[in-house]
Structure 1
Amino acid sequence: MICFLLLSLLVVDVTETQNTQGTFEGNQTFNLLNTTVEPTNATFTLKKDGWEEIEEELKNNKTSDIITEEDESFQDPEHPRLFLECNQKALVEGSHLYCGVPFQDEMSSLGPENWCLLPNVISPYYRMGQCLEILSTYYSCFYPNPDVQDFFLYIHSLYFHNCSREEVHLEDAPEGLVAALTLIPISLIPVPLYLMIWKLSVTSSTTNLHS
């Protein structure tokens, strides 16, 4: 019981630390993304072996270790990432440097005239999303997370803000056609009434003859 209480307090402390760091660094996301970051001038160091590991995961499409917000397995005391703290700063910078820059290069090669054509952008967009998933896992962050969502919004504001869904404009039917379609059913109403009255009169006459 005591071990369980200590574990709960530790989890709460880690959560509060992440929230505090997120409040401080969350406002820096767009400032970073709006700047040009060169690999040699990065403000954090990603070990060579670490980046090679990420590249290998991207090539092999390894996403089985990604922690999603819906995944409740992280509550397991034996979960390997329970006591790891999300490195938000590295995630924000790495998202731009290792996921955003390749995507921007591909979009530049496509040209603005192709940015709103889904078949042309779906592959680069998918690779960028997969890169962000793996990067989030590498830095012990859940996926999706607010920093990744801000990054997606930034990318959309750059490349897809002028893309609008084509709306089909339906024209009103001609007034004459509308009037005809309205009057025809009304004009047919007397016909069944006449047939019903005629049938009743015939039935009545037949009954009188037999009587």
Structure 2
Amino acid sequence: MDSHECAVLKLFLVGVLANVWIMGGLSADDGFSTEPTTPQPKKLCNESWLQWEVEVCGEDFKRDMARIDPQHWCNLSHFISEYNIFTLCTETRSHILHCYWPNSLVETYIIHIHKHFFSNCTLEQVVWVDPPEETLTILILIPVFLTMAMIALVVWCSKRSDNFA
């Protein structure tokens, strides 16, 4: 066996052993435990309880929003902390009850809250306006010139390759 082949083989074996050692993991107790851990049984989400908990969060949010003047409901800076507390409340309660967050139940309730407080916050219909003539001309000419330059480059390179053949 060639010395290079032997070195490559040794390197491969060291790599495999290092990978096995790393992938085996280290236990926090003794440092070298290889006993498999038993998976914890997955607890099911109690959706009826979650519905009640989310409504409690919503009632707290409604109480907090009642303290804010309704004309400021569309200005996020006036209620961002209350909304953050509401979001954290729904997230925390979901995790306590072993439910994913956001799930369809929480999303439905959040949409209900949005419709109640923020339905009048939509802006006027956006009117799209064409850009100025100069901008429009530049936006049209740049791709045209790039396309022509690429075609010229391809033709030039193909002629040069014919000379080298």
TM-score normalised according to structure 1 size: 0.41
Is 2:82 aligned against 1:129?
A: no
Report the Cα offset of residue 114 of structure 1: 1.0
State how 1:67-106 maps to structure 2 within 5 Å: 78=39, 80=40, 82-97=41-56, 99-106=57-64
Distance 1:100 1:139, change over 3 A: same
Counterpart secondary structure, 1:116: coil
Mapped to 2, the partners of 1:156 and 1:77 lie a distance apart of 43
Mapped to 2, the partners of 1:166 and 1:121 lie a distance apart of 22
**AA partner of residue 44 (structure 2):** E
Mapped to 2, the partners of 1:140 and 1:171 lie a distance apart of 50
* Equivalent residue number for residue 141 of structure 1: 99
User: Structure 1, residues 11-70: CA drift from partner, whole Å, max 9, x if none?
Assistant: xxxxxxxxxxxxxxxxxxxxxxxxxxxxxxxxxxxxxxxxxxxxxxxxxxxxxxxxxxxx
Report the Cα offset of residue 162 of structure 1: 0.7
**AA partner of residue 92 (structure 1):** Q
Which runs of no fewer than 5 residues in structure 2 stay unpaired? 1-36, 134-165
Is 2:41 aligned against 1:114?
A: no
User: Structure 1, residues 96-120: CA drift from partner, whole Å, max 9, x if none?
Assistant: 11x1111101111102111100101
User: Structure 1, residues 168-203: CA drift from partner, whole Å, max 9, x if none?
Assistant: 657789xxxx8xxxxxxxxxxxxxxxxxxxxxxxxx
* Equivalent residue number for residue 201 of structure 1: none
**AA partner of residue 94 (structure 1):** E
User: Structure 1, residues 59-108: CA drift from partner, whole Å, max 9, x if none?
Assistant: xxxxxxxxxxxxxxxxx962x4x4211000000011111x1111101111
Distance 1:172 1:137, change over 3 A: closer
* Equivalent residue number for residue 150 of structure 1: 108
Q: Which has the higher contact order (CA 8 A, sep 6+)?
A: 1
Counterpart secondary structure, 1:110: coil
Say what the alpha-carbon RMSD is for the aligned residues: 2.7
Distance 1:77 1:132, change over 3 A: farther
* Equivalent residue number for residue 66 of structure 1: none
Which runs of no fewer than 5 residues in structure 1 stay unpaired? 1-75, 179-211
> What percentage of residue pairs aligned between the two structures are identical?
30
Mapped to 1, the partners of 2:114 and 2:77 lie a distance apart of 16
Distance 1:77 1:92, change over 3 A: farther
TM-score normalised according to structure 2 size: 0.52
Report the Cα offset of residue 163 of structure 1: 0.5
Mapped to 2, the partners of 1:163 and 1:77 lie a distance apart of 51
Mapped to 2, the partners of 1:134 and 1:110 lie a distance apart of 25
Mapped to 2, the partners of 1:142 and 1:165 lie a distance apart of 33
Distance 1:77 1:110, change over 3 A: farther
